[in-house]
């Protein structure tokens, strides 16, 4: 039996004895066995979070005190960075060095919110009356369900946990059932740092089993979810009954525009990284390449050449440049996406199938794939594959590039390359996406907000707004010279 659920300050097994084997996407080996929560466990976790919040055991801490806790967690994460990175690498199949980068970003996230939380929160409003004090204060929102994805398991949970702690919320962490180990490690650190009992709780299991109460229970005030659009829509419907606050990051189909006057060598290099890093399993992946006609052949020929040289391999293969897909079912989804693209008339230039190398036989490896002759009406252009698949479209004018880049229900991120700074400014302003990279693609910092337009989600993570998602705003009006209103006549 395994005790990997954390509820009301105690590590415990699932109430019904349920457990789950975590398999490596690299070779299907079992890398961990963890508890799989029952509905009873979920309700216990919600009750613990609600009781801790209502008791004031954590909300009574000052912003400064909570920021010191968040900073201590950052220190402990840094201490255990390589151990946690190994767990992340085992679960996701990504290279160990990538997992190390991810954990370093997690530490930076906690440090950002520790710094942000220590600042002054609130303001005074001048109402023009000498004896009236009018103050705006920020208070902890309440109980939050924090639901993370499998592609960046610890990082995406950290974007939620760090501001929740700084704000003074109580919460339930629910990582993907495919990648739970780093969330377990983080919860142990949260406990070690001295977080009060019941504030942080950890539930493990598939959303189909444990998700319903986390998003619909009236004792939960906020649901923060990172994942697919369909699940996000389900969460919105379920949350409507109690008018919960929502923070949703639902992925994207991100345009990557290359103008003819760009530094083409840099643009091509970044385009390959944007599409094929982590085998395309990135919500902000630049998998929708939009190229000016006059340089199309040069750009696409070189991208295909480079895609064919990408080295696939497992977590411990130091020569590998990217890894496997997360699961057998996801590989099947990506394969179906390719079949549909071919049926729609897209031209397959390279890849499009599972790797046939012997060293990849037990894993879920899919070759870097490039489709040319794509148009905006194709589902392969509109739908998110979440795999190593690039589609290529052509434009002739700046206006066409903008129109194509905005022709999507999503709006998470986008990039553009040009040597004309004024053109860059115009296009960046016109693109309807939450993050725009100009002559770059992919970098972010915890101090800058992250989130999308349209069906890429609601709200923002990171930056100052990332903390604001976990705070309620209250106006307190104090009359220091009380008197009769005199509105109605005396009877």
Residues labelled catalytic:
249, 283
Q: Using CA atoms, how far apart are residues 136 and 141, in angstroms rounded to an integer?
A: 15
Q: At a CB cut-off of 8 Å and minimum separation 6, what does 490 contact?
A: none
Q: If 0-12 CB within 10 Å is exposed, 13-18 middle and 19+ buried, where does residue 139 land?
A: middle
Q: If 0-12 CB within 10 Å is exposed, 13-18 middle and 19+ buried, where does residue 211 land?
A: buried
Collapsed DSSP state (helix, strand, coil) of residue 413? strand
How large is the greatest C-alpha to C-alpha distance in the chain, in angstroms? 95
Joined together, the tokens standing for residue 129 give 């009356």
Q: Residue 429 CB: number of other CB atoms within 10 A? A: 9
Q: Using CA atoms, how far apart are residues 333 and 339, in angstroms rounded to an integer?
A: 10
Joined together, the tokens standing for residue 326 give 């997360």
Joined together, the tokens standing for residue 103 give 């954990």
Q: Using CA atoms, how far apart are residues 238 and 244, in angstroms rounded to an integer?
A: 9
Collapsed DSSP state (helix, strand, coil) of residue 256? strand
Alpha carbon 191 to its chain's center = 23
Closest CA to 349 of 365, 331, 369, 329: 369
Q: At a CB cut-off of 8 Å and minimum separation 6, what does 105 contact?
A: 155, 446
Q: Using CA atoms, how far apart are residues 396 and 382, in angstroms rounded to an integer?
A: 20
Closest CA to 94 of 364, 329, 303, 385: 364
Answer yes or no: are the C-beta atoms of 7 and 170 closer than 8 Å. no
Q: Using CA atoms, how far apart are residues 220 and 49, in angstroms rounded to an integer?
A: 9
Closest CA to 387 of 305, 330, 307, 312: 330
Residue 284 DSSP label: T
Q: Using CA atoms, how far apart are residues 151 and 388, in angstroms rounded to an integer?
A: 13
């Amino acid at each position: 039996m395994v005790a990997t659920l954390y509820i009301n300050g105690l590590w415990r097994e699932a109430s019904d004895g349920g457990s789950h084997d975590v398999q490596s996407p690299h070779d299907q080996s079992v890398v961990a066995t963890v508890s799989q929560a029952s509905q009873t466990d979920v309700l216990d976790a919600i009750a613990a979070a609600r009781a801790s919040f209502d008791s004031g055991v954590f909300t009574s801490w000052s912003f400064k005190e909570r920021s010191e806790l968040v900073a201590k967690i950052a220190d402990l994460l840094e201490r255990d960075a390589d151990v946690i990175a190994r767990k992340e690498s085992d679960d996701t199949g990504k290279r160990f060095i990538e997992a190390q980068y991810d954990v370093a970003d997690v530490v930076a996230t906690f440090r950002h919110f520790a710094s942000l939380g220590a600042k002054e929160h609130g303001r005074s409003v001048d109402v023009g009356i000498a004896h009236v004090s009018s103050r705006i204060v920020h208070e902890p929102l309440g109980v939050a369900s924090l639901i993370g994805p499998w592609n960046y398991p610890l990082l995406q949970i950290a974007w939620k946990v760090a501001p929740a702690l700084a704000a003074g919320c109580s919460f339930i962490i629910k990582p993907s059932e495919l990648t739970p180990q780093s969330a377990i490690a983080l919860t142990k650190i949260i406990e070690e740092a001295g977080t009060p009992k019941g504030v942080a709780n950890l539930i493990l299991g598939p959303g189909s089993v444990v998700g319903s109460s986390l998003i619909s229970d009236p004792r939960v005030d906020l649901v923060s979810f990172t994942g697919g659009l369909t699940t996000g829509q389900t969460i919105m419907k379920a949350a409507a009954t109690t008018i919960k606050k929502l923070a949703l990051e639902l992925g994207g189909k991100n345009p990557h525009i290359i103008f003819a006057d760009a530094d083409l060598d840099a643009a091509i290099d970044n385009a390959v990284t944007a599409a094929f890093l982590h085998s395309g399993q990135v919500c902000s992946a630049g998998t929708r390449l939009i190229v000016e006609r006059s340089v199309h052949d040069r750009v696409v020929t070189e991208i295909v050449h480079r895609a064919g040289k990408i080295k696939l391999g497992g977590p411990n293969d130091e020569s590998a440049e990217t890894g496997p897909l997360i699961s057998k079912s996801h590989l099947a989804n990506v394969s179906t996406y390719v079949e549909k693209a071919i049926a729609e008339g897209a031209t397959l230039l390279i890849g499009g199938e599972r790797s046939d190398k012997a060293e990849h036989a037990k894993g879920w490896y899919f070759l870097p794939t490039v489709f040319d002759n794509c148009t905006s009406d194709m589902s392969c252009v509109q739908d998110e594959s979440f795999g190593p698949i690039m589609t290529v479209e052509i434009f002739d004018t700046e206006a066409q590039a903008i129109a194509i880049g905005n022709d999507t229900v999503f709006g998470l991120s986008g990039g553009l390359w040009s040597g004309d700074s004024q053109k860059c400014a115009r296009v960046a302003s016109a693109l309807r996406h939450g993050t725009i990279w100009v002559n770059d693609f992919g970098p972010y910092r915890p101090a800058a907000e992250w989130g999308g337009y349209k069906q890429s989600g609601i709200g923002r993570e990171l930056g100052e707004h990332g903390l604001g998602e976990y705070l309620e705003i209250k106006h307190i009006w104090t009359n220091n010279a009380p008197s009769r209103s005199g509105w109605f006549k005396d009877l």
